[in-house]
Amino acid sequence: MIPEELARKIRYIQIHSSKTVNDVLAGEYHSLFKGQGMEFEEVRPYQPGDDVRAIDWNVTARTGEPFIKRYREERELSVIFLVDLSASGDFGSSRKLKNEVAAEICALLAFSAIKNNDKAGLIIFTGEIELFVPPAKGTSHVLRLIRDLLEFKPRQAKTNIRQAIEFLGRITSKRSVVFVVSDFLETGFAQPLRAIGAKHDVVAISITDPLEVRMPDVGLVELEDAETGEWIQIDTSSQAFRTRYEGLGEARRKELRDLFRSMDIDQLEIVTNRDHVRDLVTFFRTRERRKSR
């Protein structure tokens, strides 16, 4: 039995995501993530308004009447969510934890995928691979992915992005759309990410809490590193400290942007207190304009 609170969360995300996908995202997703090519469907008589470039001249010559070839998009894609649910994601200074926002983003994209007859799969990782769900279709399958994300309890606190990317490379041979969802606080994953970026359509989704962008003046506070357990005391009333803290955070975010750009990997930056539906739509439209140039 699913606990009542978890069932409510799943139901809320299902209703919210399905409505958003139907109203806003499905068309954006379809136009951005293309199928693997065009597949021949039929030859039929030419009708006024048809593109003359589609005329099948062999059939036309044989019958004495103009015929055209029709193709359909080979639509089916595999969409894989590679999601970091380590201890650093179990943090939130606004309404939602980073891991909860990660689950909502994945739900929106997964419902968009099945709306377009694509498959969705899931890899949850921390310092190890904790769960792998092979790609499949259907609403019940997406609800299972959402449940797995929301009820997940990690065996490890730490993060190993490199290991997760290498695992993906071993289990996925067919070209797929891969969403790597993490706060990317770790380093050392550039080489394997570059390798899968050459084989798959990879999008990096970085999740950031507003407190990681700007530290408020609240006096002396004690903070625990969720992944190492280390405690430190800081004086947030110090303007010098806050300036340095914010500068280091922005430097890391710029480093990530430059890294992804150097690999030709698109990045979607999500801050947990912002409207991430709007962020998704903006990302889709910006990416489509760039790809169409």
CATH of the domain at 123: 3.40.50.410
Considering the domain boundaries, does residue 237 fall inside one?
no
- 38, 53, 119, 263 from 201: Cα distances, Å: 18, 30, 15, 12
Quick one: tokens of 71? 């193709």
Distance CA 166, CA 83 (A): 14
Distance CA 286, CA 291 (A): 9
Residues 95, 132 share a domain: yes
Number of domains in the chain: 2
What pLDDT, on the 0 to 100 scale, is given for residue 33?
A: 77
- Tokens 């996908």 sit at which residue? 21
Distance CA 102, CA 94 (A): 14
Residues 156, 53 share a domain: no
Considering the domain boundaries, does residue 216 fall inside one?
no
Residues 14, 151 share a domain: yes
Residues 158, 55 share a domain: no
What pLDDT, on the 0 to 100 scale, is given for residue 293?
A: 66
What pLDDT, on the 0 to 100 scale, is given for residue 232?
A: 84
Residues 186, 280 share a domain: yes
Considering the domain boundaries, does residue 86 fall inside one?
yes
What pLDDT, on the 0 to 100 scale, is given for residue 159?
A: 93
What pLDDT, on the 0 to 100 scale, is given for residue 34?
A: 63
Cα angle vertex 8, ends 5, 11, to 5°?
150
Considering the domain boundaries, does residue 241 fall inside one?
no
Distance CA 125, CA 129 (A): 5
The parts of the chain modelled with pLDDT lower than 50 are: none
73, 97, 128: which is the final residue of a domain?
73
Considering the domain boundaries, does residue 232 fall inside one?
no
Residues 198, 105 share a domain: yes
- Tokens 């005391």 sit at which residue? 233
Residues 152, 82 share a domain: yes
Residues 21, 50 share a domain: no
Residues 67, 153 share a domain: no
Backbone angles phi, psi at 64, to 5 degrees: 80, 5
What pLDDT, on the 0 to 100 scale, is given for residue 190?
A: 95
What pLDDT, on the 0 to 100 scale, is given for residue 73?
A: 58
264 Ramachandran zone, left/alpha/beta (phi>0; psi -120 to 50): left
Considering the domain boundaries, does residue 225 fall inside one?
no
Residues 79, 62 share a domain: no
Quick one: tokens of 51? 């593109």
Considering the domain boundaries, does residue 217 fall inside one?
no
What pLDDT, on the 0 to 100 scale, is given for residue 156?
A: 86
Residues 158, 119 share a domain: yes
Distance CA 217, CA 215 (A): 7
What pLDDT, on the 0 to 100 scale, is given for residue 1?
A: 57
Backbone angles phi, psi at 121, to 5 degrees: -130, 170
Distance CA 47, CA 110 (A): 38
What pLDDT, on the 0 to 100 scale, is given for residue 221?
A: 83
Mapping DSSP onto H, E and C, the string for the chain reads CCCHHHHHHHHHHHHHHHHHHHHHHHHHHHHHCCCCCEEEEEEEECCCCCCHHHECHHHHHHHCCCEEEEEEECCCCEEEEEEECCHHHCCCCCCCCHHHHHHHHHHHHHHHHHHCCCEEEEEEECCCEEEEEEEECCHHHHHHHHHHHHCCCCCCCCCCHHHHHHHHHHHCCCCCEEEEEECCCCCCCHHHHHHHHHHCEEEEEEEECHHHCCCCCCCEEEEECCCCCCEEEEECCCHHHHHHHHHHHHHHHHHHHHHHHHCCCEEEEEECCCCHHHHHHHHHHHHHHHHCC
* Domain that includes residue 60, residue range: 40-73
Considering the domain boundaries, does residue 242 fall inside one?
no
What pLDDT, on the 0 to 100 scale, is given for residue 38?
A: 53
Residues 283, 174 share a domain: yes
What pLDDT, on the 0 to 100 scale, is given for residue 8?
A: 83
